[in-house]
Amino acid sequence: MAGTTTELRGGRVYDPTHGIDGEIRSVYLRDGVIVAAPADPADIRETYDLSGCVVMAGGVDIHTHIGGGKVNLARMMLPEDHRGDLVPRGRHPRMGCGHVAPSTHTVGYRYAEMGYTACFEPAMLAANARQAHMEMADTPIVDKGAYVLLGSDDLLLRMLAGKEAGAKVRDYVAWTLHAAQAMAIKVVNPGGINAFKFNQRKLDLDEQNAYYGVTPRQVLLSLADAIRELGLPHPLHIHGCNLGVPGNKDTTLATIAALDGLPAHLTHVQFHSYGAEGDRKFSSGAAEIAEAVNRSPNISMDVGQILFGQTVTESGDSMRQYAGSAFGSPKKSVLMDIECDAGCGVVPFRYKDKNFVNALQWAIGLELFLLVRDPWRLFLTTDHPNGAPFTSYPHLIRLLMDRSFRNDMLKTLNPDAAAASTLASLEREYTLYEIAIMTRAGPARSLGLHNLGHLGVGARGDVAVYVDHPDRERMFTTPRYVFKAGELIVRDGRVIAAPTGATHVVRVDYDRGIEKTIGDYFERYMTVSPGNLAVADSELEDAGRGSIIRHGARRTA
Amino acid sequence: MPDQLAQNPEEKTLHRAVTCPFCGLLCDKLTVEASRGELRATGNACPKAERAYARTLPAAAPAVNGKPVELDTALAAAARLLKRSRQPLLGGLGTDVDGTRAALALAERCGGIVDHLHGRALARNVRVLQTRGYATTTLAEVRNRADLVVLCGVDINDDFHNFASTCLRPADALVPERLAARRLFHLGPAKQAPRHPGLGVEQVACGADELLETVNALRALRAGRQVRLKGKRLQALAGIIAALAASEYAVFVWAPGQLGDDGDLLISAVCDLVNDINRDKRAAGLALGGNDGGQSALATCAWQTGYPLHVSYAGTVLDYDPLRHDTARLLASGEVDALLWVSTFRPVAPPDSALPLIVIGTPGTPVRATNSVFLPAGTPGLDHRGQLIRTDAVVALPLPQLRDSALPAAATLLHELLTRLG
């Protein structure tokens, strides 16, 4: 009888969840999961010799725009971008296009080809949830999930304006989470997208919505509170007020202070860490933000690093995207007011290394990476594709791990920006252990994915194997092997099998009495029935589209 | 949610909150009565929906060259036909999201080109998106927030009939003062103005060929420039200018399928006007279209290929060209050598050509009796479940199964063909 276990032997293992920092040891796979060493060596069916290789769990991207209406608008809008990166027949199981607005299939294949096995779409609208899931269903290999937007929907603002009890908000949050088949709750420019529909062009933390009188602070605190009470694994995922505005570091600091210990995740903080000092009234606020994050254990963040070149910005923040559309390149943009629920803006953009602002944005992102001390609370993102496409992660990893490479690049940038940044003086170089935290263990822990992001017994058999090359960009671009649920899917950076990934959702208990309130509201004001807004399990699972992995409330001590 | 299908086909079953697939609005509050396979749309159905649900399906069998055969035989013949083809056109695409997914997979397998029945209309919007972008809104925003709606050459008397009750004059709105103050204008030929009783639309009469000029005049007038126009249009436009001055949220509506081939110019002009207004107030556009699964085909093709239809899988990489890969042009030029036509919402005849023909269609779809294969298929939302995307490119809705017709989904048939191609 042949064995049943695969042994990955002799690799240097980085598994921060279990404190394993570069030990040479074997990892065993059986029936799709990681298992202990079999008692009988005859159980080993095949062995991969991984000497000279680095072994990590499959990557987990906590914030990447891979599916939904705005992503698809960006695709439709940018044929010129696709033409530079068309995937030839035979390269992948399905044809497609890549670069800044890749086709769904290409997203799945290319993530896998970098060793990532799970990706989370951070800005799904309840009104658009069905389409977002359809797109993610057509994204092969990787597991996926999405965070549903709340905070600019008229229903929540009406509840807050009417001083509705917290319980009602909490139940509405839970209903939305379930209806949209989401993992977590995201807020974007809290209340600001709604305010823009009433022609407000900015909304500070304590500024009132012109119609509802509600402030972003109220929105943030009510949502963060509801999430804590519901016990959602991932805290409120916050895209704050004033994105991209010089001087917005003060808003970000005020937001951290306002949360006052409530758990929260601040996303693409680079775009929210700007001072207004200097001749150009644009400066780095990274040091202050990092200091605030360092002393606030309730806060986690991702950076949203920008890298130079063409990209497209896709955001629910219609207010700020409208302001940014003047700087678009090529000069075209989409702006949408959406369904009394949210909004979006899509603006192509080219980050230029000789441009003062862009160069300083680059430096600010790296300053944040290097100044925030705890990698368990800091995740590696480019806010794909807003800062850069996800395919540039290996380059970003090299910038973090290789100070001389970083400083050589800094010398080529706009000299005034380089002079305005402390980056050259920052000596920190990330270790492989820290990279494994930021790209795997940390995001998985933050999302409550107990079986992902680590290599312990019982974890899903998602494993990435890289050749330990001193050029970390080269190393992370082309894994030697990637396994998904125990199956070899990538060899030498090329997809050889494309299984279907699962969709992760969170389900919690709540008072179904809220359905009456929601039903009445939809009947009176909306253009769809709430029962039709809700995405059924069968829509995700039927016709072999993939399974649903249901997570419960946070395990409490 | 729709009730369960009746166990006994003799019984009447009432389905509620039914999504109507028969125009791009996807109204989802219909009530449909099912009895012995016959359907009757009652609550919230527009006249077009009533007719579409009431259509009696003629008996239909799979056929090869007009002769009834077993499904298996027809599938084998269709697969042979595709195998012989070097560059087929997969056209019509009147199907749901799953049907489009299957059509794209098949197109990739056989090096085909994909277009939709309304490909040209959809491309008018896309051309504007790709050249300048736009600021748009969705149905619930119009319903609740607009205080001014201008229909620019739009006829909502047949398609989009319920736009009037759902969005233009609903019973209630989140911002009731806006609804109370709401003014509605129709630009275009008087015979296309909404005939819905009590809608209260102010008419700015102009010929279809004068629409572009009229919208540009409106833009110039708003900017305070001198304008000369023939007829009484100038006076009528002054009414819109006054309404714009008082407006907090103006919506300009167009229907790409009701415009001519240069309709993108009108859409562009409307979008320019919206941009002007957005400098200091709020306005947005809205396209009414995407019938026959058009919006779904557009979106699905975009997420799977990056390109909004008009994609060829014939080469080593995808090739997008809305002009070259247009159904009529491809058939006229002889650049395709077979036609696979999908029409499951209504019996739309395939375009005339002598090419080998496969039709996946609702019973009653005309199919010529030579060099052809007919594969009868169900209508999404009537004969099988499915999903469609609404005209505003945001809301996607689930479609129920209302009767047990045993007609397979287009997706099922297309998958069968893919399997047979190996």
> For B129, which of A77, A89, A95 is closest by C-beta distance?
A77
B111 touching A, CB under 8 A? no
Separation CA A52–CA B35 (nearest Å):
70
Q: Cβ B317–A67 below 8 Å, yes or no?
A: no
> What are the tokens at A430?
């990330």
> For A199, which of B282, B300, B394 is closest by C-beta distance?
B282
Q: How do the domains of chain A map onto residue ranges?
A: 5-57+451-495, 149-172+186-447
Tens-place pLDDT, residues A427-485: 999 999 999 999 999 999 999 999 999 999 999 999 999 999 999 999 999 999 999 99
Chain B hits for A518, CB-CB cut-off 8 Å, are none
Q: What is the ipTM of this complex?
A: 0.97
Q: Cβ B304–A138 below 8 Å, yes or no?
A: yes
What parts of chain A have a pLDDT lower than 50? 1, 557
Distance of alpha carbon B139 from its chain centroid, rounded? 15
Which among A489, A483, A439 is positioned nearest to A459, based on CA atoms? A483
Q: Quick one: pLDDT at residue A129?
A: 98
**Burial of B422 per CB tally in 10 Å (0-12, 13-18, 19+):** exposed
Shortest Cα–Cα distance, A67 to chain B (Å): 8
Please give the CATH topology (third level) of the domain spanning A5-57+451-495.
Urease, subunit C; domain 1 (2.30.40)
Separation CA A263–CA A301 (nearest Å):
11
> What are the tokens at B62?
């799979």
Which among A138, A348, A82 is positioned nearest to B321, based on CA atoms? A82
B396 touching A, CB under 8 A? yes
Q: Cβ A95–B313 below 8 Å, yes or no?
A: yes
Chain A hits for B415, CB-CB cut-off 8 Å, are none
A321 touching B, CB under 8 A? no
Residue-level length of chain A: 557
B141 touching A, CB under 8 A? yes
| Percent of chain B predicted with pLDDT > 70 | 98
> What are the tokens at A7?
């042994």
Q: Cβ A527–B300 below 8 Å, yes or no?
A: no
Q: Region B377-381: what's the mean pLDDT?
A: 98
Please give the CATH topology (third level) of the domain spanning B123-287.
Dimethylsulfoxide Reductase; domain 2 (3.40.228)
User: How many other C-beta atoms are found inside a 10 Å radius of the C-beta of residue A535?
Assistant: 24
Separation CA B334–CA A176 (nearest Å):
52
Q: Cβ A531–B1 below 8 Å, yes or no?
A: yes
Nearest-CA residue of chain B relative to A211? B175
Chain A hits for B145, CB-CB cut-off 8 Å, are 197, 337, 340
> What are the tokens at A249?
């570091």
Question: Of chain B residues 33-52, which have a CB less than 8 A from chain A?
Answer: none
pLDDT for B2 beyond 60: no
Separation CA A309–CA A388 (nearest Å):
8
pLDDT for B206 beyond 80: yes
Residue with tokens 């202050």: A288
- Angstrom distances, CA of residue A86 to CA of A97, A106, B6, B304: 4, 10, 49, 12
Pick the CATH number of B63-118+292-421 from 3.40.50.720, 2.60.40.10, 3.40.50.740, 1.10.3720.10: 3.40.50.740
Q: Quick one: pLDDT at residue B107?
A: 98
Q: How do the domains of chain B map onto residue ranges?
A: 12-54, 63-118+292-421, 123-287
Q: Region B97-121: what's the mean pLDDT?
A: 98
Positive or negative, the Cα torsion across A190, A193, A195, A199? positive
Q: Do A355 and A260 form a contact (C-beta atoms < 8 A)?
A: no
Chain A hits for B387, CB-CB cut-off 8 Å, are 130, 134, 539
Q: Cβ A211–B141 below 8 Å, yes or no?
A: no
Q: Cβ A525–B174 below 8 Å, yes or no?
A: yes
Beta bridge mates, A185 = A148
Chain B hits for A95, CB-CB cut-off 8 Å, are 108, 305, 313, 317-318
Which among B295, B140, B321, B119 is positioned nearest to A72, based on CA atoms? B295
Question: Of chain B residues 284-343, which have a CB less than 8 A from chain A?
Answer: 284, 298-300, 302-308, 313, 315-318, 320
Tens-place pLDDT, residues B294-347: 999 999 999 999 999 999 999 999 999 999 999 999 999 999 999 999 999 999
pLDDT for B395 beyond 90: yes
What DSSP character marks residue A441? I
Q: Region B158-177: what's the mean pLDDT?
A: 98
A161 touching B, CB under 8 A? no
Beta bridge mates, A284 = A274
Q: Do A388 and A117 form a contact (C-beta atoms < 8 A)?
A: no
Nearest-CA residue of chain B relative to A71? B303
Separation CA A495–CA A479 (nearest Å):
11
Shortest Cα–Cα distance, A324 to chain B (Å): 13
Q: What single string gives the DSSP state of each residue in A350-416? A: EE-TTSHHHHHHHHHHHHHHHH---GGGEE---TTTTSS-GGGHHHHHHHHH-HHHHHHHHHHS-HH
> For A339, which of B129, B131, B395 is closest by C-beta distance?
B395
> For B306, which of A96, A322, A337 is closest by C-beta distance?
A96
